[in-house]
Amino acid sequence: MSAERIFRAIFVLYLAAFAIYLFAPLMIMAAAAFNESRFPTVIPWQGTTLSWFSTMWADETMWQSLWTSLLVAACVVAVVVPVGTAAALVLTSLHARARSFAYAVMVSPLLTPGVVIGISTLILWRQLGVGGGVFLIVLAQSTFIICYVMLMVMARLQRFDRTQEEAALGLGASRIMVFRRVLLPFLRPALLASAGLAVLQSVENYNTTLFVRGFETPLTVFIATKVRTGLTPAVNALALVIILAAIAGAVFYELARRRRTA
Amino acid sequence: MGELRTRFGTGLSTVFLVLVLFWLAGMVLAPNLMMIDYALRPNLPPAALGGPDDTYSLSNILYLAGEPTHRAIFIKTIWASGLVALVTFLVCYPIAFWMAQRATVGQLSIALLLIIIPFFINEVLRTLAWFIILSYRGPLNSVLMNIGLIDAPIRWQGDGGVLAAMVYAYILFMLLPIYNAIESLEKAQVEAARDLGASPLRIHTRVVIPHAKAGIATGFVFTFMLAAGSYVAPSLLGSPGSRWFTEIIYNWFFEGGDWNRGAAYALVLLVLCLTVVLVTLRLARVNLADVAK
């Protein structure tokens, strides 16, 4: 079967090309942070240095934008987790017909381009006299991040055994107590995971944030501006730190998930 | 609603409903209605608001149809986004098939982890990575010149660069739905087709792809929507000759100072995306409820 062999060889080549396509850009970007060259590249290698990390560390505006991003992310989590959970609970208590309509409405922000979400939020709030800034960034980002929370909570709710609630009620617990002591503890893993996802989505958002940022400069806007106005490997140093944090987050998330399901 | 109240009591269910209404009415519906309102009104100085000129018309939307540059960029954004979705599909399909049908459990978990890692890194950084690779004095040109394939550096930035970075950015949105769809295909079906003498190509076009249609449609819809609505890739990797529709919209807001026209353009983009989403899903007979999974 030589045709089979050739096919296999082509496929292995494809796998290798895919892996290179996936990781070469990130590796080159990371490696360029250690190159002395003023423009971030790996060829030619002009000497190994750590100075770009200290350049970035000393950059006041970077800290300012990091702070803005973290502040926004914290506010987004405070909005999206309660609202997303409420949406999931309301949706699962609807009857079949109403549910599929409500569902379509509730996932529609996921199918709306990010720029449109930013623009429509900006326009509405200008009518009310509020301009771009942290408040609008939080609102605009929350509009679609709520969908993710809702979907994650709904997935968890499907495995919930309603008889637990009934048992607690039968034993004399109030409805609020049942919610706090039975349902919320059951949802806890989904709530924590969705809070993590919300932070990630918020910090990495650019398309929506760009339109509602006002005079604020969150981290993604800071990086994009640097790319346009004067890219040095200091930005790569920042990128490398963010990448390592993201990988640590991914591994931590995966470990937590495996421990839960085990 | 009745069920919500019997389950959680009046107090809690009111809180839930208020939160959901705040979201759907205040954050989804009202902004979109206001955007439509803006799109249909002329751009007037504050003094003329509410005056005789302040009437609804389609002139902002018709302006797009009449302005040749903007119209060309709009049409180009449509087909280029379709091209991004198509190329992403071609890149993802073989690996999705391999993961779903051929890979061992160990290979699969490694592959999933490796594919997900780049997507924990944000779109701006992924675009930055391509900016560096494709830059005039960047690694790609250096390598090609060193091995003698080209004599002088090539300007990659422009349509090609935007395509490469967008495909890269949206792989996961295409790969996961297709993988999920192919995974539910019985391996026996592929084997039966082979035993009956079907060629590999025929197995894919007649057995695997029809089975994975819903997943492919979902991946296509997301990729198209993300590409058409992307700002970061075209703004960092594009050239003056490769402008994207979102850049025009941005200019109306922050450089042209005509929010009404900007709103009209954004509305057109929204309608375009929703049309593509609904038509594609209808063609593939996919329920909207299955997309978000």
In this structure, what token pair is assigned to residue A31? 């490696």
Measure CB to CB from residue A114 to each of B3, B229, B262 and give the nearest one: B229
Q: Return d(Cα A152, Cα A120) in angstroms, integer.
A: 26
pLDDT at residue A96 in the model = 80
pLDDT at residue A164 in the model = 87
Interchain CB distance below 8 Å, A151 and B231: no
A-proximal residues of B, 173-192, CB under 8 Å: none
Q: Return d(Cα B230, Cα B269) in angstroms, integer.
A: 11
A198 touches chain B (CB under 8 A): no
In angstroms, the separation between the Cα of residue A54 and the nearest Cα of chain B is: 20
The burial of B85, by beta-carbon neighbours within 10 Å (0-12 exposed, 13-18 middle, 19 or more buried), is given as buried
Q: Return d(Cα A12, Cα A18) in angstroms, integer.
A: 10
Pick the CATH number of A66-231 from 3.40.190.290, 1.10.3720.10, 3.40.50.9100, 1.10.10.10: 1.10.3720.10
pLDDT at residue B1 in the model = 63
In this structure, what token pair is assigned to residue B97? 């098939």
A-chain CB neighbours of B153 within 8 Å are none
A7 touches chain B (CB under 8 A): yes
Q: How many CA atoms lie within 13 A of B153 on its CB side?
A: 13
In angstroms, the separation between the Cα of residue A184 and the nearest Cα of chain B is: 12
B-proximal residues of A, 47-76, CB under 8 Å: none
Which region holds residue B208: left if phi is over 0, alpha if psi is between -120 and 50, else beta? alpha
- Closest Cα partner for B223 from B288, B156, B167, B142? B167
Cβ neighbours for B152, distance < 8 A, ≥ 6 positions apart: B145
- What ipTM is given for this predicted complex? 0.88
pLDDT at residue B45 in the model = 80
Measure CB to CB from residue A87 to each of B23, B114, B259 and give the nearest one: B23
Residue type, position B23, single letter:
W
Angle, helices B259-283 vs B213-228, to 10°: value is 170
Cβ neighbours for B224, distance < 8 A, ≥ 6 positions apart: B81, B82, B84, B85, B273, B276, B277, B280
* H or E segment to which residue B234 belongs: helix B232-237
A173 touches chain B (CB under 8 A): no
Whether B293 has a pLDDT exceeding 60, the answer reads no
Interchain CB distance below 8 Å, B34 and A114: no
Interface test with A, best of B29, B122, B222 (most A CBs within 10 A): B122
Residue owning tokens 């803005």: A68
The burial of A210, by beta-carbon neighbours within 10 Å (0-12 exposed, 13-18 middle, 19 or more buried), is given as buried
**In the predicted model, what is the mean pLDDT of chain A?**
88
pLDDT at residue B144 in the model = 87
Q: Number of H helices and number of E strands within chain B? A: 16, 0
Q: Where are the domains of chain B?
A: 68-291
Residue type, position A94, single letter:
L
Per-residue pLDDT, averaged over A122-135, amounts to: 92
Classify B190 as helix, strand or coil.
Answer: helix
B228 touches chain A (CB under 8 A): yes
In this structure, what token pair is assigned to residue B2? 């009745």
Pick the CATH number of B68-291 from 1.10.579.10, 3.10.110.10, 3.40.50.300, 1.10.3720.10: 1.10.3720.10
Measure CB to CB from residue B259 to each of A39, A82, A123 and give the nearest one: A123
Per-residue pLDDT, averaged over A157-185, amounts to: 87
Whether A4 has a pLDDT exceeding 90, the answer reads no
pLDDT digits (tens, 9 = 90+) for A30-56: 888 898 887 787 777 888 888 888 888
